[in-house]
């Protein structure tokens, strides 16, 4: 008996909401079509209808037993839709800022002084993406071939081969640009003591 009494208010609430939805769904859809991007309209409308369900008892102009009049409930519903649209826009701006930050973080940073290492960066640009990543992990991150293999998904042997070939290709590219052998000049970087 108690379960039946609890179900009756739930059924009454559902009927009230269905009556409201019949009155406001189409006008709210038109309202959002004029204000939101086409891809957002259905999501914002769904969010608006969810808020209307949650706040059904707070809605002004919503009669208990009869169907609501559009003039009585639409202004309040438009206010809810406006708030939901503002939330969707804020969420989209946050998402775009996050994508921008992640893109900046993932892109290789330019050299601090391009004049000092411009030739090296040009030579790195001649390598394929995987070979360049292998060389950069080895040179900048100081990883061993086994660790590079774990990062790239290659076998350690494949990393060693790619690294050897890429270093040879870089040396040849730098030699062509400078007109001399790549690497340190004789005596450079050594103590003469």
For 180, the 3-state DSSP assignment is: coil
**Residue pair 76/61 in contact by the 8 Å Cβ criterion:** yes
pTM above 0.85, yes or no: no
pLDDT (tens digit per residue) in 100-155: 888 887 776 555 555 566 777 778 888 888 888 888 888 878 888 988 888 888 99
Residue 52: count of CB within 10 angstroms of its CB: 24
Say how far residue 167 (Cα) sits from the centre of its chain: 35
Structural domain boundaries, residue 101: 11-105
**Packed helices 156-178 and 145-152: angle between N→C axes, nearest 10 degrees:** 100
Q: What percent of the chain has pLDDT over 70?
A: 80
Residues 6+ apart with CB under 8 A from 181: 171, 175
| CATH number of the domain residue 28 falls in | 1.10.1740.10
**Per-residue confidence band for 180, with pLDDT thresholds at 50, 70 and 90:** low
| CATH number of the domain residue 139 falls in | 1.10.10.10
Q: How many domains does the chain have?
A: 2
* Same domain assignment for residues 174 and 121: yes
**Residue pair 163/135 in contact by the 8 Å Cβ criterion:** yes
């Amino acid at each position: 008996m108690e379960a039946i009494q609890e179900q009756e208010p739930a059924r009454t609430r559902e009927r009230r909401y269905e009556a409201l939805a019949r009155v406001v769904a189409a006008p709210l859809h038109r309202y959002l079509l004029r204000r939101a991007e086409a891809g957002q309209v259905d999501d914002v409308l769904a969010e608006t209808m969810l808020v209307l369900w949650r706040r059904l008892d707070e809605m002004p102009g919503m009669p208990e037993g009869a169907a609501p009049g559009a003039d009585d409930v639409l202004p309040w519903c438009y206010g809810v839709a406006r708030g939901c649209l503002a939330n969707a826009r804020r969420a989209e701006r946050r998402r775009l800022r996050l994508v921008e930050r992640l893109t900046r973080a993932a892109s290789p940073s330019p050299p601090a002084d391009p004049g000092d290492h411009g030739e090296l960066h040009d030579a790195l640009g001649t390598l394929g993406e995987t070979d360049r990543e292998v060389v950069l992990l080895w040179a900048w991150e100081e990883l061993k071939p086994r660790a590079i293999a774990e990062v790239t998904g290659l076998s350690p042997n494949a990393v060693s081969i790619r690294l050897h070939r890429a270093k040879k290709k870089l040396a040849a590219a730098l030699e062509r640009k400078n007109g001399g052998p790549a690497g340190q000049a004789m005596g450079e970087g050594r103590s003469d003591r």
